[in-house]
């Protein structure tokens, strides 16, 4: 059963879906440019969603080995016809770090 997302608040953490993985893949070049690193592994693990004028997502991403990152991604409304934007990130993170809004 899907968790209801309320405007203004983030949903509870959910397992990443193929849609979330697609969004994460779209912002991977932005993340690599910001961190000045290249990542072979870039797998979405869990996510939280927030309804705004579009959607904000917090996503825990596995970077390989014991390395994780928390990404904050804004997806504009479909009528805007713009790609997702990586607005913030937190590294280093671990598998067990909670996905807390930042």
Predicted local distance difference test score (pLDDT) of residue 7: 56
Q: Does residue 4 have a pLDDT over 90? A: no
| All structural domains of the chain with their residue ranges | 14-93
CATH of range 14-93; options 3.40.50.1820, 3.10.450.10, 3.40.50.150, 3.60.70.12: 3.10.450.10
Q: Burial, 90: exposed, middle or buried (Cβ in 10 Å; 0-12, 13-18, 19+)? A: middle
Q: Hey, how many other C-beta atoms are within 10 angstroms of the C-beta on 81?
A: 7
Q: Give 86's contacts (C-beta < 8 A, 6+ positions apart).
A: 27, 30, 31, 34, 71, 72, 73
What pLDDT digit, counting tens, does each position of 45-63 carry? 999 999 998 999 999 999 9
What pLDDT digit, counting tens, does each position of 71-100 carry? 999 999 989 899 999 999 999 999 999 999
């Amino acid at each position: 059963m899907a968790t209801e997302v309320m405007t203004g608040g983030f949903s509870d953490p959910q397992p990443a879906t193929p849609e979330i993985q697609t969004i994460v893949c779209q912002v991977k070049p932005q993340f690599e440019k910001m961190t000045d690193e290249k990542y072979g592994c870039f797998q979405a693990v869990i996510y939280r969603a927030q309804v705004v004028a579009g959607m904000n997502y917090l996503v825990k991403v596995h970077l390989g080995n014991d390395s994780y990152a928390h990404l904050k991604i804004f997806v504009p409304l479909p009528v805007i016809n713009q790609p997702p934007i990586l607005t913030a990130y937190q590294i280093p993170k671990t598998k067990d770090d909670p996905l807390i809004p930042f």
